[in-house]
Amino acid sequence: MKEKVVIVGAGLFAEVIHCYLSSDGRYEVVGFSQSQEHIKHPEFLSLPVVPLENLEEHFAPDGCKIFIAIGYKNVNTVRAGFFLQLKARGYGFISYVHPSVKLWPNNKVGENCFIFEDNTIQPFVEIGDDTILWSGNHVGHHSKIGRHCFIASHAVISGSCQIGDYCFIGVNATLRDGITVAPSCIIGAGTLLMKSTKEKEVYVADPTKPFRRNSDQISF
């Protein structure tokens, strides 16, 4: 029997999650939910959109599970707030691991996690609740990713790293082995991180600057 899932959110991220779950024979998406003030249409992708405030009247906790399809807004705190609220209301959550991803018996993955295709998860890696790993990352052995994190595509997290709760790791960021990223840090796209951080620090690579000539002034 397929697991019935309600997706919290009705934006681009929710549309992507619906695509993955709907193509996987283990799940049946039965509806979407948003806060009443954010509902613009009664349906999304031909499924009902119901108010989060009275979700139980439409989808009871014992009849479905939840996935919260909200991105890294406010360093993941928005998604975390919905997760904690719904958990307190008795709902369970799915965690989705794409079939292309090998998990080892000693890996640990929390609730409301989504691990997209082509992630390399080495032995003894732990991933906390409500954490998203977009496509194509490397997570080295004995590393631990905290709760409510978002790892964008093609990041390299080397072995024995510790990433605290509420962190964001950008596209193509690289973390040296054995370092600790403190909670609520932002590691921007393309950043090479060689040392441990302090809480709420932000690291960015040098931004790309336009060349001094326009394209019509250059011949190949």
Do the domains at 3-88 and 95-203 have one common CATH topology?
no
Tokens of 218: 């250059």
> Residue 62 pLDDT more than 70?
yes
Q: Lowest mean pLDDT: which of 98-102, 137-141, 209-213? A: 209-213
Contact between 32 and 10 (Cβ < 8 Å): yes
Closest Cα partner for 202 from 213, 210, 194, 191?
Answer: 191
Mean pLDDT of all residues in 61-80? 97
Mean pLDDT of the chain: 96
pLDDT digits (tens, 9 = 90+) for 159-212: 999 999 999 999 999 999 999 999 999 999 999 999 999 999 999 998 777 878
> Residue 220 pLDDT more than 70?
no
Helix locations, the chain, DSSP H = 12-22, 77-88
Q: What is the pLDDT of residue 207?
A: 77
Taking residue 214's Cβ as centre, other Cβ atoms within 10 Å add up to 8
Give the residue extent of every domain in the chain.
3-88, 95-203
> Residue 215 pLDDT more than 80?
no
Phi then psi dihedrals of residue 112, to 5 deg: 55, 40
Contact between 165 and 79 (Cβ < 8 Å): no
Mean pLDDT of all residues in 84-101? 98
Report the relative pairing of strands 126-127 and 168-169 from DSSP bridges. Answer: unpaired
95-203 topology per CATH: UDP N-Acetylglucosamine Acyltransferase; domain 1 (2.160.10)
Which of the listed CATH numbers 3.40.1170.60, 3.20.20.10, 3.40.50.1370, 3.40.50.20 matches domain 3-88? 3.40.50.20
Contact between 143 and 125 (Cβ < 8 Å): yes
Q: What is the pLDDT of residue 213?
A: 79
Closest Cα partner for 6 from 77, 58, 76?
Answer: 58
Long-range contacts of 71-74 (CB under 8 A, 24+ apart): 71/13, 71/132, 71/150, 72/132, 72/150, 72/168
Kindly list the strands in the beta sheet with 138-139, ordered across the sheet, starting from the edge strand earlier in the chain: 120-121, 138-139, 156-157, 174-175, 192-193
Q: What is the pLDDT of residue 135?
A: 98
